[in-house]
A and B are shown apart, each in its own frame.
Chain A
Amino acid sequence: MKKILLALACATSAFAAGSAVANSRDHIMIVGSSTVFPFSKVVAERFSLKTGMKAPKVEPTGTGGGFKEFCKGVGVGTPDIANASRRIKDSEFKSCQENGVKDIVEVFIGYDGIVIANSKKSEAMNLTRRDLFLALAKVVPDPKGGENLVPNPYKTWKDVNPALPAKPISVMGPPPTSGTRDAFVELGMEGGCKSFPWIAALDKSDNARYKAICHGVREDGAFIEAGENDNLIVRKLSENANLLGIFGFSFLDQNADVVNAARVDGQEPTFESISDGSYPVSRPLYFYVKKAHVGVIPGIEPFLEEFTSERAWGDEGYLAEKGMIPMSSERRKDVAGSVKKLESMSM
């Protein structure tokens, strides 16, 4: 028994020693969007293999969760980089400033497209954003006309738009916690919502109501929340020819043999149409760097250099290979230049 007690004492002191390590860090710590996660980890890996430095740790916390950690303050216990699938919000920027995170470098890295797809067993759809809004919103303008709202009455796509097939509306998409869902709602549904002039007018007069109308997704079973796993959605699509799914472009790229992407507003989601902005449901991707950590945590500068190199984010770079859609080459040059100078952002 004495031996056990001795072993216990040793173990306890080992833990004490372990926790003392906390005041220095030899790897970069990245948090944030799960959309940027796959891109961030490729760069992390290439950076580590090339330089022989320790690989950055990339944690997919979601954009909002990432900023929360990022803005907690300056110090080795806080992240160095926050990935985001949208721009930092005023409130987040302010909270960063209040906690002493004064200088932040904003890096625009490229685009991500959100696709609406169905199984190859049925034909690809040709949708407009208005169709998407009418099919998936919780409340829609009364089909009989007038400026009042009714709970979504549409059962089939043909009800929404006579040009569409008479298939039941059944769409599988991510839950509200997901950035993909936010982007789909804001770029897809809201786009269609605004096509009703009287709702668009509400944006100015009664913003809360406008948001409730345009961002409310129906809860009567036509929209199925699938959890944050895009692979699951793809698998379900291959089993049910009537089902539509909403997921990121990289999953379309990898599963082009089983699913068809719908055209939105006449545009097919391709590298080109997303990059030049003609495909409407696409969003910008960013990451944010804590300037106070540059030079303190080893490797941040070479990591930034790797991320902003043509080899990584160029038209033929390895990020494009992973499904990120690159910006125009002038834009890349611009961003790379300001990153090199570590220009801090302002709001």
Chain B
Amino acid sequence: MSNTNKKAPARTMDLVERSLARRYGAEKRFRFYGVISVVIGVLALALLFWEIFSAGLGGFRQTHIQLTLKFDPDVLEIADARDARQVQNGNFEGVVRAALAERFPAVLDRGGRRDLNGILSIGAAFDLRDKLVDEPELLGQTRTYWLLADDDVDTYYKSLREGNAFTARTSEARQVWIQELIDGGELRTQFNTRLFTSGDSSEPEMAGILGAVVGSLLTLLVTFILSFPIGVAAAVYLEEYAPRNRFTDFIEVNISNLAAVPSIIFGLLGLAIFIGLFGMPRSIPLVGGLVLTLMTLPTIIISSRNAIKAVPPSIREAALGIGASKMQMILHHVLPLAMPGMLTGAIIGMAQALGETAPLLMIGMVAFIMDVPNGISDPATVLPVQIFLWSDSPERAFVERTSAAIMVLLAFLVCMNTLAVWLRKRLERRW
């Protein structure tokens, strides 16, 4: 001390001032690190969105071709359009072929004809069948429709518009026909309604996510109906009734552990118990829901317990003080006050369950299922599984549909998380 005194009068103020620049610098850097971290996060998200949106927007459009068709009873081999069996077996492909032959009369050889017929999807013929079922009077009449184009045509047309035509699967003759159709305004893209109204298909142009969306909803319904009451009841018991001892500590640790178990383990468990032991069928939303219940239970229990803990003891005591029983206190006061917190936890758990594929792999929900499920015991698949299956398909046209399906899944997730945030903001009380 005496040394410093000799050299300069060391006032605290001087010391502070000398270090001030350094401290401001440190402060700035500290804030900067935070900003950088946020920017990295936002950039990663923006990159993901850009990647998915740029690839997926095309998936919402589908190429259609305009054709004038004659519902010729002789070609269709249908005498009575009200006879379901006759219509079922009708030769609608023949009608489409005849219409194409009329549109391109110059194509006469067999190979060329076959190539020509391939520019329309096989779905076109089945669409015509549906039209005839809806309107039996069409038999014998001539109409003009926009028909579904084949996925190769779709890919070719879209790549052509972008200036980098993909010609490997489109013969030169086809390219000429397509150009002719484009010039005549008989080929265009329309909104891809099938993407939202039909189940899976092996033909990209006919594939939709409705089956997967319904499967996801059914699975989540089962999960919610089971996991929410069980989770809340467990949380109430653990918070309000259970004595604090080693045994409850043990349970508490295990619940936290369960929350960290990889989800595929729950799938194995589901396979062994629900399918192996109880003999339930594979691939149904009921089993999927049960497995996901096991997975989301810890999340719901933990968040419900936190919500119950946040209810001030004074409210409990006041209720007990005016003569309420413990059950009345819980049902009339604690649960209503904790409900927003518990619901938020449940929604976040559901959002997690919605994005899960690994446990469903084990119980057979990773499958090609064309029909839209009607109930919890019909075979079904879920959205993320549908995305996985499409991303694994060789067809080019599935690439953009995969991204389109991801966009739908993201939309669902964003909605659920927004709902959770909104519930918290709206209903949460502060004491």
User: Which A residues lie at the B interface, using CB under 8 A?
Assistant: 1, 4, 8, 11, 14-15, 18-19, 21-22, 25, 27, 29, 34, 37-38, 40-42, 44-46, 48-49, 51-52, 54-55, 57-60, 76-77, 228-231, 248, 250-251, 253-257, 316, 318, 322-323
Contact = CB atoms under 8 A, between A and B. Distances in A.
Interface string B384-398: 000001011111100
A59 B361 CA distance: 10
Nearest to B166: A257
B55 to A, nearest CB: 11
B390 to A, nearest CB: 10
Interface in B25-68: none
Contacts of A322: 202, 394
Nearest to A248: B394
A246 to B, nearest CB: 15
A1 B334 CA distance: 13
Contacts, number: 109
The majority secondary structure among interface residues of chain B is loop
A256 B168 contact: yes
Contacts of B166: 257
B229 interface: yes
16 contacts: A11-B226, A15-B222, A18-B376, A27-B371, A27-B379, A42-B203, A44-B202, A44-B370, A45-B203, A49-B126, A59-B282, A59-B283, A253-B394, A254-B395, A256-B169, A257-B166
B394 A57 contact: no
Contact of B392 (A29, A57, A228, A255): A228
Interface of B: 88, 114, 122, 126, 166-169, 201-203, 222, 225-226, 229, 278-284, 286, 331, 364, 366-371, 375-377, 379, 389, 391-396, 399
Nearest to A79: B282
A41 B392 contact: no
A48 B370 CA distance: 9
B221 to A, nearest CB: 9
Given A8-B229, A27-B379, A55-B371, A255 B366 contact: no
A231 B222 CA distance: 34
Nearest to A254: B394
Contacts of A38: 202, 393-394
Contacts of B284: 18
B263 to A, nearest CB: 18
Nearest to B398: A231
A77 B287 CA distance: 14
A11 B227 CA distance: 12
Contacts of B391: 229, 231
B367 A230 contact: no
B47 to A, nearest CB: 16
A254 B169 contact: yes
Nearest to A37: B368
Contacts of B376: 14-15, 18
A38 B395 CA distance: 10
Contacts of B396: 254-255
Contacts of A49: 122, 126
Nearest to A48: B370
B180 to A, nearest CB: 23
B377 A21 contact: yes
Contact of A1 (B88, B331, B367): B331
Contacts of A228: 392
A25 to B, nearest CB: 7
Contacts of B394: 38, 230-231, 248, 250-251, 253-254, 322-323
Nearest to A27: B379
Contact of B280 (A22, A25, A51): A22
Nearest to B110: A316
Contacts of A76: 281
B175 to A, nearest CB: 14
A57 B379 contact: yes
A253 B169 contact: yes
Contacts of B229: 4, 8
Nearest to B275: A77
B393 A11 contact: no
A46 B283 CA distance: 22
Contact of A230 (B222, B368, B375, B392): B392
Nearest to A46: B122
A257 B202 contact: no
Contacts of A250: 394
A18 B375 contact: yes
Q: State the 5 A-B residue pairs at the shortest beta-carbon distance, nearest first.
A: A55-B370, A256-B168, A59-B367, A58-B368, A41-B368
